[in-house]
Amino acid sequence: MNAEIIAVGTEILLGDIVNTNAQYISRELANLGINVYKQEVVGDNEERVLESFKNAFENSDIIITTGGLGPTPDDLTKEMAAKYFNKELVLHKESYENLKKFFEKSGRELVGSNEKQVYFPKDAIVLKNDHGTAPGAIIEGDNGKKIVVLPGPPREMKPMFDNYVVPYLKEFTDSVLVSKVLRTFGIGESRMAEIVNDLIVNQTNPTLAPYAKDIEAILRITAKAKNEKEAEELIKPVEKEIRRRLEEYIYGEGETSLEEVVGELLVKKGIKIATAESCTGGMVAEKLINYAGISESFLEGAVTYSNEAKMKRLGVKKETLDKYGAVSKETAREMAEGIAKAAGADLGVSTTGIAGPGGGTAEKPVGLVYIGVYYKGNCLVKEFNFTGNRNRVRVRTTMSALDLVRRTIK
For residue 31, what pLDDT is reported?
A: 85
The arithmetic mean of pLDDT across residues 136-150, rounded, is 97
pLDDT at residue 372 is higher than 90: yes
3-state secondary structure of 407: helix
Q: What class, spelled out in words, does domain 176-253 have in CATH?
A: alpha beta
Domain range annotation of the chain? 2-171, 176-253, 258-409
> Is-cis flag, bond preceding 154, omega within 30?
no
Answer yes or no: are the C-beta atoms of 90 and 124 closer than 8 Å.
no
pLDDT at residue 214 is higher than 90: no
For residue 203, what pLDDT is reported?
A: 86
Cα separation, 309 vs 350, whole angstroms: 13
- 246-270: burial string, b at 16+ Cβ within 10 Å, e else: beebbbbbeeebbbbbbbbbbbeee
Q: Domain 258-409 sits in which CATH superfamily?
A: CinA-like (3.90.950.20)
No. of H helices and E strands in the chain?
17, 17
Task: List pLDDT tens digits, range 270-309.
Answer: 999 999 999 999 999 999 999 999 999 999 999 999 999 9
pLDDT at residue 177 is higher than 90: no
Q: What is the torsional sign of CA 128, 129, 134, 140?
A: negative
pTM check: above 0.85: no
- Identity at 158, one-letter amino acid code: K
State which H helix or E strand residue 96 sits in: helix 93-106
pLDDT at residue 102 is higher than 90: no
CA terminus-to-terminus distance, the chain? 45
pLDDT at residue 113 is higher than 90: no
Cα separation, 323 vs 330, whole angstroms: 10
Cβ-based neighbours of 287, under 8 Å, separated by 6 or more: 258, 259, 398, 399, 402
For residue 359, what pLDDT is reported?
A: 94
Task: Tell me the CATH number for domain 2-171.
Answer: 3.40.980.10
The arithmetic mean of pLDDT across residues 405-410, rounded, is 97
pLDDT at residue 108 is higher than 90: no
Cα separation, 383 vs 353, whole angstroms: 10
Residue 235 CB-density burial (10 A; 0-12 exposed, 13-18 middle, 19+ buried): buried
**Band of residue 107 on the pLDDT scale cut at 50, 70, 90:** confident
For residue 386, what pLDDT is reported?
A: 96
Count the neighbouring beta carbons within 10 Å of the beta carbon of residue 125.
16
How high is the mean pLDDT of the chain? Answer: 96
State which H helix or E strand residue 208 sits in: strand 207-213
Cα separation, 313 vs 307, whole angstroms: 10
Task: Provide DSSP, 149-198.
Answer: EE-SSHHHHHHHIIIIIHHHHHTT-S-EEEEEEEEE-SS-HHHHHHHTHH
Answer yes or no: are the C-beta atoms of 131 and 159 closer than 8 Å.
yes
pLDDT at residue 391 is higher than 90: yes
3-state secondary structure of 212: strand
Percent of the chain at pLDDT exceeding 90: 91
**Quick one: DSSP state of residue 297?**
T
- Beta bridge partner(s), residue 146: 62, 140
For residue 181, what pLDDT is reported?
A: 96
Cα separation, 208 vs 303, whole angstroms: 42
Cα 9 to chain centroid, rounded: 23
Task: List pLDDT tens digits, range 62-100.
Answer: 999 999 999 999 999 999 999 999 999 999 999 999 999
pLDDT at residue 341 is higher than 90: yes
